[in-house]
Structure 1
Amino acid sequence: MDAHHRLAHWLRENHGTVDLLVAAAAFVLLALPWAFTDRPMEFIVSAALTIPLAWRRSRTVAAASTVAVVSVGQLLINQPPVPAQVSVLAMVYALAAYAPRWASLGGLGVAGFGMVAGVAQFGLNEYQTGLAALPLYALYIFFAVAVVLLCWAFGDLARNRRLTLQALQDRAHRLEIERQQERELAAADERSHIAREMHDIVAHSLSVMIAQADGARYASAADPAVAASTLGTIAETGRGSLREMRRLLGVLRNDDDAPVRPLPTLAEVPALIETVRRAGLEVALTHSGTPRRPLPTGAELTVYRVVQESLTNVLKHAGPRASAHVSLAWTAKGLEVTVDDDGRGAASDSAAVEGGGTGQGIRGMAERLKLYDGTVETGPLAGGGFRVRALIPYTEA
């Protein structure tokens, strides 16, 4: 930082010290010399005019009032002006720069009146009288009032600059607060997104692995070959889940070496269903309709996660010998996804609660779909079983 910038910064940050130094300098230069003369009144008046300069910014109205009272008193007792009278101009500037508007305009009026009265009382000598002196009076008054107006104008400019800087600082502070809030909201949204991804990956994979392990345990007694095949499926599912977790955690670590394979899309729904079938759940898949235009990649991921979560819930809560039906129907509004099962129906809700579920999966579905103006409806079927129906419109395509 340059020297003049450092000086300007110090002056802005220490205005109380600056005003005290200015008042002390004015007292030493304009008042103290009178103490060494035989004119004590001039010393008293000069001291009363210079000392209030120490409070010209902190107590502007009070300091200016003191100077005004002293100056008016000089006129009343016919005391001639002194060099310290320059403090009147300093107070006019201070009132315009730091005082309320009423005090600024009032000080301007009092100073202007005092200048006119002072010129009329002390401006001309005893030889300048009569009509011939009127032009000189007018000239003196013009210059006196012009100086007062000039000081007031400079003070008003300083006031406007100060208010502008303050407004900019307030705006910058508000913007910083808004940026911090946006960062916090983005972090919260990212945490929610990560929680949904981890839930979808872990819950689905573990449900498939548990179902496979239970099936292998019962089938191994009759046919050991089935157990070996099932264990292979479990290992494959675990490795796939591990890859997904590594990819997700690699993104969190900002790791350039982390695998970043494409996220699941509609084209991978059949592979997902095949994985669930290997876990022992009978699942049928039907397609109908033709899309008017393709969905965004994020919307296709949402459809995949809805199907994945729905089938995971069937595995966990529908009970033994349940089956499911997945329907992907392209309508005039968008893609309608329906997952029905013939399991325990309404009892699945209580089963989820008894099993320690928190509804994170259904809540995650709703949050994902909301990003694409989609909706989800869940509930038991009349004849038994449970239904999940979701709609993703074309609006975000």
Structure 2
Amino acid sequence: MTSPDTSTVPRPGPGRPGVLRWWRRHTLLVDALWACGLLALGVLPLAAGGFPGSPLLVQLFFSVALAVPLAWRRRAPEVVAGVVAALQYLQLAVGAHQALPMNAFATVSVLFTVTAYGRDRVWQAYLGIAVAGAVLLGLLSELSLVVLGSTTMIGATLAGYLRRIVRVRDEAAVERARRLEVERDSAATVAAEQERRRIARDLHDVIAHSLTVIVAQADGGRYAARADPQAAQRSLETVAATARVALADLRAALGALRAPGHAETAPLPGAADVPSLVASVRDSGHPVVLTVTGEATAVPAAAGLTAYRVVQESLTNVLKHAGGGVSTTVEVHHGPTLVRVAVADDGIGTASRAPGTSGGSGLTGMRERVEAVGGRFHAGPRDGGGWLVVADVPLQPAVAP
């Protein structure tokens, strides 16, 4: 089992010291140097002839054999612990009962490592194997080695367990940071998508409605130019006024794409602007009857803009799809908790306005707008012909349960 690579994972809190980062990133090199240092200390007493009871070459062999696996103690802690345990029992089996320095060094190293980086059941099993080995060695040589060896092993295990607690805490902190980063990126993606849709709806509403009115006025002015120059002049004035309003709305919509300091500060239209919107359509030669009921108390900006855009898009669809000689009614009712807008016409073009029958996004945009503020939206054919759009826009946004 390998230790986590902290070089590629963001860690919370202040940055770790450079030496510690290097230590954690080069575990094989560090552990190899550790093994070489322990081996040097372990064979130093053997330079004077070794310990009595077994040949010097046997003691040297087991010292080297116990040191070599330590180079992989953090790469494969459980395997290294098993190899060290097997070598020590083999040492007892061949009659080398001396407590070599490398026996203590290797045992302490692997117990610390397997406790800190191994699985729960594994390090407990190796602690039992190590204590059993110390008892066996004490029975074969000196009983004092049982107490000394067991105490040392338990101390190494406790130190490894403390390291394990720190490691698990660090890994949990890294995982929390990773999840928070994922959640932050996901929230940013959702917010960007919502903003993109909002801007797309604004641009569609502004451009589609304004261009439809401009085209209607231009066509009417062209036919009226010879017979009624005054009507042609009024059409041109309506075209200019509509174009100016469209440019202002377009600047406001595009302001969200710029830096906050460059965003336009012109107020967005609201429910109070519906009469002027209806008047602009009426001036283009299409009869529209507006009825406003209820007490128009302070309507929040989001609700007012939604109601305005629904009426705007509905009238645009009437101009585009309903045909000539169409009668249109717009009703705006101000209730205590909502604003209801209803736009009805008696024209044709039902199929072209039906959901899913064209490539337009007007109905979809209206529905998204109304549902975004917690309202209800309906659009469909009227009984007896024509088209009906109804939207209930709450004055207060719905609170999610």
TM class by shorter-chain length?
0.7 to 0.9
For residue 385 of structure 1, what is the amino acid of its counterpart? G
For residue 233 of structure 2, what is the amino acid of its counterpart? A
For residue 224 of structure 1, what is the amino acid of its counterpart? P
Aligned to 1:312: 316
* Partner Cα separation in structure 2 for residue 161 and residue 351 of structure 1: 59
Q: Within 5 A, what are the aligned runs for 1:3-42?
A: 5-31=17-43, 34=46, 37=49, 39-42=56-59
Return closer, same or farther for 1:298/1:46 CA change in 2, 3 Å cut-off.
Answer: same
- The one of 212, 220, 223 equivalent to 1:218 is 223
Return closer, same or farther for 1:118/1:347 CA change in 2, 3 Å cut-off.
Answer: closer
Aligned to 2:280: 275
CA offset at residue 78 of structure 1?
A: 4.5
CA offset at residue 178 of structure 1?
A: 1.6
* Partner Cα separation in structure 1 for residue 15 and residue 254 of structure 2: 51
Is 17-26 or 303-312 further displaced after alignment? 17-26
2:97–2:140: 8 Å Cα contact kept in structure 1? no
Cα displacement string for residues 149-184 of structure 1 (whole angstroms, at most 9, x for unaligned residues): 110011112122212211221221122112111111
Aligned to 1:189: 194
- The one of 27, 42, 46 equivalent to 2:63 is 46
1:74–1:81: 8 Å Cα contact kept in structure 2? no
- The one of 336, 342, 345 equivalent to 2:346 is 342
CA offset at residue 110 of structure 1?
A: 1.4
2:337–2:395: 8 Å Cα contact kept in structure 1? yes
CA offset at residue 10 of structure 1?
A: 0.6
For residue 375 of structure 1, what is the amino acid of its counterpart? R
Return closer, same or farther for 1:112/1:16 CA change in 2, 3 Å cut-off.
Answer: same
* Partner Cα separation in structure 2 for residue 395 and residue 247 of structure 1: 24
Aligned to 2:389: 388
Is 379-388 or 114-123 further displaced after alignment? 114-123
1:317–1:351: 8 Å Cα contact kept in structure 2? no
Aligned to 2:236: 231
Other structure's SS at 2:383 match: coil
1:317–1:344: 8 Å Cα contact kept in structure 2? yes
Q: Which has the higher helix share?
A: 1
Runs of 5+ consecutive residues of structure 1 not aligned to the other structure? 125-136
Runs of 5+ consecutive residues of structure 2 not aligned to the other structure? 1-13, 50-54
* Partner Cα separation in structure 2 for residue 222 and residue 40 of structure 1: 123
Given the alignment of the two structures, is residue 303 of structure 1 paired with residue 307 of structure 2, yes or no? yes
- Larger of the two Rg values belongs to structure: 1
Question: What is the TM-score normalised by the length of structure 2?
Answer: 0.87
Return closer, same or farther for 1:11/1:201 CA change in 2, 3 Å cut-off.
Answer: same
Identity %: 38
Aligned to 1:99: 118
Task: Name the Cα RMSD after superposition.
Answer: 2.6
* Partner Cα separation in structure 1 for residue 137 and residue 355 of structure 2: 98
Aligned to 1:173: 178
1:328–1:337: 8 Å Cα contact kept in structure 2? yes
Return closer, same or farther for 1:390/1:250 CA change in 2, 3 Å cut-off.
Answer: closer
CA offset at residue 45 of structure 1?
A: 1.5
2:371–2:377: 8 Å Cα contact kept in structure 1? no
- The one of 117, 129, 136 equivalent to 1:110 is 129
CA offset at residue 33 of structure 1?
A: 6.8
Tell me the number of residue pairs that the alignment of Structure 1 and Structure 2 aligns. Answer: 378
Aligned to 1:80: 98
* Partner Cα separation in structure 1 for residue 359 and residue 171 of structure 2: 50
